[in-house]
A and B are shown apart, each in its own frame.
Chain A
């Protein structure tokens, strides 16, 4: 693989508000043609990180480079103002200017860049087409739907062909249907234009669906970084495991080491083998609902508690001794609440207690 160019580089970023540390020593890189997401629960410092990169916020410490140029450096007392960073940004609430028409909103950065009339018209045409906003150019934002306003915000951010785009939960205000549609469009747009997108969200499904790489944040720190697949398969700790996808957590004990891994005993006494290098002792077992086989011949006894139809899948909540587990099966297995059954755990992760 050819070496890819770094578009955003964040080095040891710290941002304090008074004595509250919102971002604590965060470092990451976003490469060209990459969709990179910052994912984390509310208040973990995602927006703050984004605002530091855009130059709207002055960090307490650390360095930020965009396209190889140092833009912010707390150590060197350097701060390039946002208007000179040549980035596109889409705000959480769109921030389209209510006193400008769609056309003027989108072309504003172009006019600031003193582009010729012809160039502006051509670009506008292209963007209106790309974002399917034709016919709306003379309208004011108040005359647009939420999704349309958002596309205007996107158009404005894209108009100067920035190499870097920052998006702060741009889909959070949309209804489920439109949100899904916009996910595709955004991903599509990114691939078509080859730009780097730094995407902020607290919606793990969204991050998984769109990103090439994801950084999971917790209380101002990045706890894990990697491809969606890596993070899903190998969450580094219980927090990430819990945050990404659905996960069951059960207390367990590693009773012995074997050739294949370890033997694990659950609270109800059931014992089985698992691929792990853990030492003997008490742990938390993390199991995804789809990694459990329900209604198997062998395995441990359980009782069906609740059943939920998910269309092509069925999710059961089953009781296993004192613990409850969420299990997903395909729609062919039909069990009623109260039925006795058996289950087998195919795959699981072991975390320290």
Chain B
């Protein structure tokens, strides 16, 4: 007797159509443009060759920028990893007071866009900056003995803004070490310090290495900081050099340098990935809930606390305050008293069509970028992780390629792909949207993968055997369970997109300005307070968004 409602297997499946559609989309928006960059970088009048690269290597200005990128990123990495590991050690593993507060303060720079951070540092330590003025007032010197527009400051500011990631990774690893390993060392006769050096440090070495590599990549791909602090000193790194090349425009030079940058950033990324996979095999860092041993600091407790607190304040709170105060000052350099405070700059922004447009554009772009990438990300994750569809892994791979591509290269790829007919997007807001989709796709796929992995297979299967069809299962079980993750993921794309600078500064056009672009241009043109007022608003939005995500993810995710 045949079943009443039998279904032939391998019938037409709507999911296959969807898969092909996404594949074409990824090919058009990610693979093709990036491919064009590589092709352009090796094309010369006479055909394909590495001539362009030879030219770069022979030009002293380009080579200089390359070396600058390398050393600036290396030193900044060294700085922030040393500080990150040290501070993580103190905050996680000693009896320093106010741990959770310190942790929060140390993580604050995470929420501050690097280019806004650079502006804040310029406000603090620049020629008429608050700290500089304090110094001249106190010492009677004519000017502060430092120059904010210099390579050294670029290094420091880069380190400050890469620091939180390093700190999170290392303190996470420290918190998860199986304490019995350390206790065993104590029982074998090693003191707390010996144990730290012989057992703890080796255990967190993979975390330290991985976060160093990622910090290096973050530094070398950064544009805002070397642009705002380095241009005036004519100190160029790869990203800013590419920016100048595009202004000429010299596409061949720009593409070749972008590929050079991508390779330089790609190698550490690959290494970090391998490290992650390898260290996964030593299961020394167990997920067990452990009560880490704390080292007693004794008489050093308070002095060390003071040092850590000062660092923490200067990394986040002080720049933030400086930004807010600046935005209310009547004129830049005015003495700090209530008579010199005004709302004028905010009123000015409201009446500045460009600023209003920038808000609208950024909100529009960020909303679309977050919605589209999360939607596609969820589909790709579902197809590759759940439906286990053949070929979905390819989608997952394609979608995550841009993770290894620096923003400047994404922007160049968009220019190459979308400034010729049949589809001319360059010069409109849509080219920025396209770039954002490329840029944020990997992040979306990652969050949706992680979210979906938390929903055990059997929860879905239980719905199926309970009598729910595929669509019903999605609606009743899968979606409700992944919703918080999706919302958090959406905000995690929306926030960085809202204040994005590197891509939009290369792709904007009249009428298609983003917040990042307007702030950058205002600051560059010397309208410090207008830039500060805009930044304050952006910071307010970002920090509130961060609070929402923390709440949604129960503190597991921060922007």
- Choose the segment among B5-13, B498-506, B509-517 that binds chain A (4+ C-beta atoms closer than 8 Å): B5-13
Contact bitstring B4-30, A, C-beta under 8 A = 1, else 0: 111111100000000000000000000
- Residue B313 interfacial (CB < 8 Å): no
Is B9 a contact partner of A58 (Cβ separation < 8 A)? Answer: yes
Contact B466 A109 (CB under 8 A): yes
In the complex, B469 has a CB within 8 A of chain A: yes
Q: Does A321 contact B (CB under 8 A)?
A: no
Residues of B within 8 A of A89 (CB): 461-462, 465
Name B458's contact: one of A84, A86, A91, A157 (CB within 8 Å).
A91
- Contact between A78 and B462 (Cβ–Cβ < 8 Å)? no
The answer to whether A93 and B458 touch (CB under 8 A), given A58-B9, A81-B464, A83-B467, is yes
A82 engages B10 (CB within 8 Å): no
Least CB distance from B535 to A in Å reads: 39
Question: How many angstroms between the C-alpha atoms of A87 and B468 in the bound complex?
Answer: 12
**Minimum Cβ distance to chain A for residue B263 (Å):** 36
Select which of A80, A108, A160 is within 8 A of B3 by beta carbon.
Answer: A80
Among A56, A68, A97, A112, residue most surrounded by chain B Cβ atoms (within 10 Å): A97
B6, B459, B465, B480 pick with most chain A CB within 10 angstroms: B465
Does the CB pair B456–A93 fall under 8 Å? yes
A82 near B456: Cβ-Cβ < 8 Å: no
B2 at the interface (CB under 8 A from A): yes
Q: Which of B5, B6, B477, B480 has the most CB of A within 10 A?
A: B6
Complex interface residues of chain A between 43 and 85 (CB less than 8 A to chain B): 54-56, 58, 68-71, 77-85
Contact, CB under 8 Å: A83 / B480: no
Q: How many B residues face the partner with a CB closer than 8 A? A: 28
Q: Which of A127-165 contact B (CB under 8 A)?
A: 153, 156-157, 160
Q: Beyond A77-B10, A79-B8, A93-B456, is A56–B464 a contact (Cβ under 8 Å)? A: yes
B477 x A88 contact (CB < 8 A): no
A98-B9 contact given A71-B3, A93-B456, CB 8 Å threshold: no
Establish whether residues A70 and B464, one from each chain, have CB atoms under 8 Å apart when the complex forms: no
Is the C-beta of A122 less than 8 angstroms from some C-beta in chain B?
no
Q: How far is the CB of A200 from chain B (nearest CB, A)?
A: 14
Would you call B464 and A83 a contact (CB within 8 A)?
yes
Q: Which residues between 438 and 487 of chain B lie within 8 Å of chain A, taking CB atoms?
A: 456, 458-459, 461-470, 472, 476-477, 480-481
Bound together, the chains give a CA A56 to CA B386 distance in angstroms of: 12
Which one of A54, A95, A112 has the highest number of Cβ atoms from chain B below 10 Å of its Cβ? A95
Query: At the interface, yes or no: B58 with Cβ under 8 Å from chain A?
Result: no
In the assembled complex, B1 has its CB within 8 A of some CB on chain A? yes
Knowing A83-B469, A95-B462, A112-B466, say if A69 contacts B3 (CB, 8 Å).
yes
Docked CA distance A345–B361 (Å) = 90
The answer, yes or no, to whether A113 is at the interface (CB within 8 Å) is yes
Shortest A22–chain B CB gap in Å is: 16
- The CA of A153 and the CA of B476, in the complex, are separated in Å by 17
Interface centre among A58, A108, A113 (most CB of B within 10 A): A108
How does the 8 Å CB contact mask read for A158-175 relative to B, with 1 for contact and 0 for none?
001000001000000000
Asked if A69 and B466 sit within 8 Å, CB to CB, the answer is no
Q: Are B469 and A81 in contact (CB under 8 A)?
A: yes
CA distance A180 to B466 in the complex (A): 27
Name the B residues within 8 Å of A3 (CB-CB).
Answer: none
Q: Are B467 and A97 in contact (CB-based, < 8 A)? A: no
Chain B residues in 8 Å Cβ range of A82: 461, 464-465
Q: Is A99 part of the contact surface with B, judged by Cβ < 8 Å? A: yes
Please name all residues of chain A whose beta carbon is closer than 8 Å to the beta carbon of B467 when the two chains form the complex: 83-84, 86, 109, 112-113, 160
Given A93-B456, A97-B477, A108-B476, check contact A83 B466 (CB 8 Å). Answer: yes
Residues of B within 8 Å of A86, CB to CB, are 467
Q: Which of B4, B9, B464, B480 contacts A78 (CB 8 A)?
A: B9
| Docked complex Cα distance between A84 and B468 (Å) | 8
Closest chain-A Cβ to B167's Cβ sits at a distance in Å of: 31
CA distance in complex: A80, B461 (Å): 14
A101-135: which residues lie under 8 A (CB-CB) from chain B? Answer: 108-109, 112-113
Residues of A within 8 A of B1 (CB): 68-70
The answer on a CB contact under 8 Å between B466 and A56 is: no
Which residue of the partner chain, among B465, B469, B472, contacts A87 with CB atoms under 8 Å?
B465
> Range of interface residues on chain A?
35 or more
Contact assessment for A79 and B461 in the assembled complex, using a CB-CB cutoff below 8 Å: no
Nearest CB in chain B: distance from A59 CB, A: 11
A-side contacts of B3, CB under 8 Å: 69-71, 78, 80, 84
Chain A residues with Cβ under 8 A from B8's Cβ? 77-79
CB of A49, distance to nearest CB on chain B (Å) = 15
Inter-chain contact B461/A95, CB cutoff 8 Å: yes
Find out whether the CB atom of B481 lies under 8 angstroms from the CB atom of A70: no
- A-chain residues with CB within 8 Å of residue B472 when the two chains form the complex: 83, 112
Evaluate contact between B481 and A99: CB separation under 8 angstroms.
yes
- Indicate whether A95 sits within 8 Å of B458 (C-beta atoms), given known contacts A70-B3, A83-B468, A108-B476: yes
Q: Closest Cβ of chain B: how far from A156's Cβ, in Å?
A: 7
Residues of A within 8 A of B477 (CB): 97
Asked if A108 and B9 sit within 8 Å, CB to CB, the answer is no
Are A79's CB and B7's CB within 8 A? yes
Residues in B with CB closer than 8 Å to A68 are 1
Q: Which of A91, A108, A112 is close to B461, meaning CB atoms less than 8 Å apart? A: A91
Given A97-B477, A98-B481, A112-B472, check contact A69 B2 (CB 8 Å). yes
Residue of A nearest to B5 (CB): A84
Asked if A112 and B468 sit within 8 Å, CB to CB, the answer is yes
Contact among A54, A77, A166 for B9, CB-based, below 8 A = A77
Chain A residues whose CB sits within 8 angstroms of the CB of B476 once the complex forms: 108
CA distance A68 to B481 in the complex (A): 37
Flag if A95 contacts B459 (CB, 8 Å).
yes
Shortest beta-carbon distance from B468 to chain A in Å: 6
> Do the beta carbons of B9 and A79 come within 8 Å of each other?
yes
**Shortest distance in angstroms between A187's beta carbon and chain B's nearest beta carbon?**
22
Residues of A within 8 A of B465 (CB): 54-56, 82-83, 85, 87-89, 157, 166
**Contact status B461-A56, CB under 8 Å:** yes
Given known pairs A78-B9, A79-B7, A79-B8, the reply for A108 and B2 (CB within 8 Å) is no
Contact B6 A80 (CB under 8 A): yes
Nearest residue (CB) in B for A109 is B466
Q: Which residue of A lies closest to B457 (CB)?
A: A95
Of listed B7, B8, B10, B458, residue having the most chain A CB within 10 A: B458
In the bound complex, CA of A56 to CA of B456 (Å): 14
Cα-based distance from A93 to B462 in the complex (angstroms): 11
Chain A residues whose C-beta falls within 8 Å of the C-beta of B459 in the assembled complex: 95, 97-98
Q: How far is the CA of A81 from the CA of B477 in the complex (A)?
A: 17
Q: How far is the CA of A20 from the CA of B346 in the complex (A)?
A: 69
Q: How far is the CA of A166 from the CA of B7 in the complex (A)?
A: 22
Set of chain A residues within 8 Å of B461, measured between Cβ atoms: 54, 56, 82, 89, 91, 95
Asked if A91 contacts B462 (CB within 8 A), the reply is yes
B110 to chain A, nearest CB (A): 30
A109 cross-chain contacts in B, Cβ below 8 A: 466-467
Whose C-beta in chain B lies nearest to the C-beta of A89? B465
A205 to B1, CA, bound (A): 38
CB distance from A94 to the nearest CB of B (A): 8
Q: Which residues of B contact A96 (CB under 8 A)?
A: 462
When C-beta atoms are compared, the residue in chain B nearest to A166 turns out to be B465
A95 adjacent to B456 (CB under 8 Å): yes
Do A99 and B480 touch across chains, with their CB atoms under 8 A apart?
yes
Give the Cβ gap from A58 to chain B, nearest Cβ, in Å. 7
Nearest CB in chain B to that of A99: its residue = B480
Smallest beta-carbon distance A140→chain B, Å:
12
User: Could you show 26 A-B contacts with beta carbons less than 8 Å apart?
Assistant: A54-B465, A55-B465, A68-B1, A78-B3, A79-B9, A81-B470, A82-B464, A83-B464, A83-B467, A83-B468, A83-B469, A84-B3, A85-B465, A86-B467, A89-B461, A95-B456, A95-B459, A98-B459, A99-B481, A108-B476, A109-B466, A112-B466, A113-B467, A153-B462, A156-B462, A156-B466
List 8 additional contacts besides A69-B4, A78-B6, A80-B7; criterion CB under 8 Å: A77-B10, A80-B5, A81-B469, A81-B470, A83-B467, A84-B5, A95-B456, A95-B461
3 tightest A-B contacts by CB? A95-B458, A109-B466, A95-B462
